[in-house]
Amino acid sequence: MSSNEDPLADVLSELGHFGKYQCIVVLLLSVAVMFHAYPHNAFVFTARNIEYRCNITECYDPSDSFQPEWLPNAVPYRNKKPRTCERYAYIGYNTNSTETNCSEDDFDRGSIKNCDNFIYESSERTILIDYDLHCDSNLWKLTMVGTVNVIGQFIGLPITGILSDKYGRRTVLILGTLFCGIFGIARAFSKSYILFCILECLDAAALSGTYVCSFLLGVELVGPNKRVLAGTIIWCFYPIGVMATAGFAWLVNSWRFLIIILYLPLFTISFYYWIIPESVRWLLSQGRQEEAKAVLLKAAKINNRTLSEKSLEKMSKSVAKQINEPLMEIFQSKILVVRFFNASFCWITCVFLFYGMTLNSVALAGNSYVDFMLTSLVEIPAYIVIYFVVDKYGRIYCQCGSFLLTALSCFVFLFISDEQHGMQMLFYLLGKFGATAAFTICYIISSEIFPTPLRHSLMGACSMFGRIGAMVSPQMPLLATIWQPLPLILFASMSLVAGLLKLLFPETLNVKLPDTIKEAESIGRDPKKNSANIS
């Protein structure tokens, strides 16, 4: 069905909804998203709480094991593990011999002392060691790194959204990635915890808008019926980047070297200035028709297509009426205000579930690196399934079902014992599958319900509110110390509420991207009027 409402869709139809040119651009943007995943998840490993205990200098242990046979004589235990920062007072006679001299009689179990130095279970080196963040009293400083990262995103997302809508998606993508790389490399050489956190916040703020920029650059260049395909390809590269981050962390024992390895590739994004086009829809919304035409003509040449002058002229004339709608005009529309706040809550829930379940995976009973990679790997089938079902059954019902799947999986997980790690992991992965699917559809819907001149600003604002969920997610280890099932209960309850609220959104399946506030308000009122050109 041809649409007179969206002349750009007619041009994209002539160009090819997803031709060779769009394929190249989407793959390049996918690489940028993969690089985005490196710094976005690095704090999970740089600020990881590793296993350690007191170094009992009075005892000699030829086996050099983390838990020698005599250790229960010297250190109090909790949950079958040695206490990290406490030991019994030594009352025996230290002969400094080459034999272990730590019997039960050598320690006073009624006198507990704090540790002076520590022994670590592995050779892994995180900021816990370099900044002396040992013991429960400092655990909040480790989890705070993740929260500081999210605070940076909270600050950066609305700013990068406004900059993107004013100066272009490509500009923000390149500059944001480069500044993130600079702050990140500087952080690898930081000598203090405070400086580390400041640089963590700055690089997160710089990077915050690059994911949305990559997504919008991809979906705004393809035809309406290929938006989900473009988004799926881009999304699939994010978990690849997350798994690569975990793999590098597994291989590299030093957090400083890990940061250098993860951040250096970001500087290659500077070449995108010459190989990635600016968003055609954004150029049109800014009245830069000639530049938009140049991008489309270049794409047509690579796709071996011919664009008619009639379609290009019609496209140029259609945008003259809707250039530069002020951001504040959105608050004059009750429909879009309600829609915005509903979207913001769904973003909070999606971000909380997505990152909370990812971060919490390192605290499961198995190998933390493997569990983290599996929790990231399950995102790929979630993206693929969404691609096949979201255009068949609609955005709203698919997202509601995704939230309910996460709620059910987390609820069942609560009744599985730690000894059944395989069964635990199965339901945990099902929960992460649902959370990923819900987050994916959240991006799709948010990109389809707001007008082009304000699209990134409003998506950035929704994502900014979503960082509230991300601020809480790094604190899951602390909540688990209060009551172990608490994180899973929060995951289940928020999923259920968000799934029901999602039913209030209008369906955007086969609806053209709105270019004005009026068009955005009309979504869901007259399906025939809002149908996109999907021929």
Domain ranges of the chain: 7-49+135-521, 52-121
CA 166 to mean position of chain CA atoms = 25
* Closest to 465 in 3D by CA, of 446, 489, 438: 446
Q: What is the pTM of this model?
A: 0.79
Q: In this predicted structure, what is the pLDDT of residue 402? A: 93
Q: In this predicted structure, what is the pLDDT of residue 534? A: 39
Tokens of 164: 């993107």
| Contact predicate 402/439, CB 8 Å | no
Q: What is the CATH number of domain 7-49+135-521?
A: 1.20.1250.20
| Contact predicate 238/443, CB 8 Å | no
| Contact predicate 312/422, CB 8 Å | no
CA 413 to mean position of chain CA atoms = 23
112's enclosing H/E stretch is strand 107-114
Strands 107-114 and 81-82, bridge-based pairing = unpaired
Mean pLDDT by 10 residues, the chain (535 residues): 59 86 94 94 89 84 76 86 88 58 82 88 90 88 87 85 87 95 96 96 92 87 82 89 92 94 96 92 84 89 87 71 58 82 88 82 71 88 89 88 92 83 87 91 83 76 78 71 77 87 80 80 64 44
